């Protein structure tokens, strides 16, 4: 849900990889600038959970403790959902040919050991009524993918991770 005060998402992740099942739930809130303000992430059927809060200017707490290693991170990237790519793309609103390097709070799953990570987004085709296309580079892991998005900036296909099969 997107409103004047920001966006809210309530997501359920069901995934099978290497013969292992993952069931997770997250609730995420942003400010009107698309910067994450709150995240609650839980791996269902376990005690593993994560709570994060940000002032929207790059200061974070993780499980209610200050997280100075994340200072300067405006964006959040949860490994198993492309929704967090949408947040950065909407915040940046890159024009065709523009790129931006980001330092993000990266959440690996199932570990939930948050750390800063370097990423880059490049606009190949700006988001419009027919969607758009962006290149994502995980500079911290040498990964690159082209991400097609719909008119709202939601990722349609993330190679080897996600493919939307149901229209909204």
pLDDT at 29 (0 to 100): 96
pLDDT at 148: 95
- Integer Cα distance of 50 and 39 in angstroms: 8
Residues in the chain predicted with pLDDT less than 50, given as ranges, are none
| Per-residue pLDDT at 168 | 59
Task: For residue 139, give the 3-state DSSP assignment.
Answer: coil
Q: What is the DSSP string of 13-72?
A: EEEEETTEEEEEEEEEEE-TTS-EEEEEEEETTSS-EEEEEE-SSS-EEETTEE-GGGTT
**Chain segment 66-81, per-residue pLDDT in tens:** 999 999 999 999 998 9
């Amino acid at each position: 849900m997107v409103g004047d005060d920001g966006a809210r998402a309530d997501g359920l992740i069901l995934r099978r990889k290497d013969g292992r099942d993952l069931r997770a739930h997250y609730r995420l809130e942003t400010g009107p600038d698309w910067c994450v303000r709150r995240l609650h992430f839980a791996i269902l059927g376990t005690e593993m959970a994560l709570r994060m809060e940000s002032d929207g200017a790059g200061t974070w707490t993780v499980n209610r403790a200050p997280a100075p290693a994340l200072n300067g991170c405006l964006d959040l990237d949860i490994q198993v959902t492309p929704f967090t790519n949408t947040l950065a793309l909407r915040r940046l609103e890159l024009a065709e040919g523009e790129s931006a390097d980001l330092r993000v709070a990266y959440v690996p799953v199932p570990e939930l050991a948050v750390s800063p990570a370097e990423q880059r987004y490049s606009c190949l085709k700006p988001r419009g009524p027919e969607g758009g296309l962006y290149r994502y580079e995980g500079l911290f892991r040498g990964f690159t993918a082209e991400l097609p998005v719909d008119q709202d900036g939601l990722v349609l296909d993330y190679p080897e991770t996600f493919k939307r099969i149901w229209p909204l």
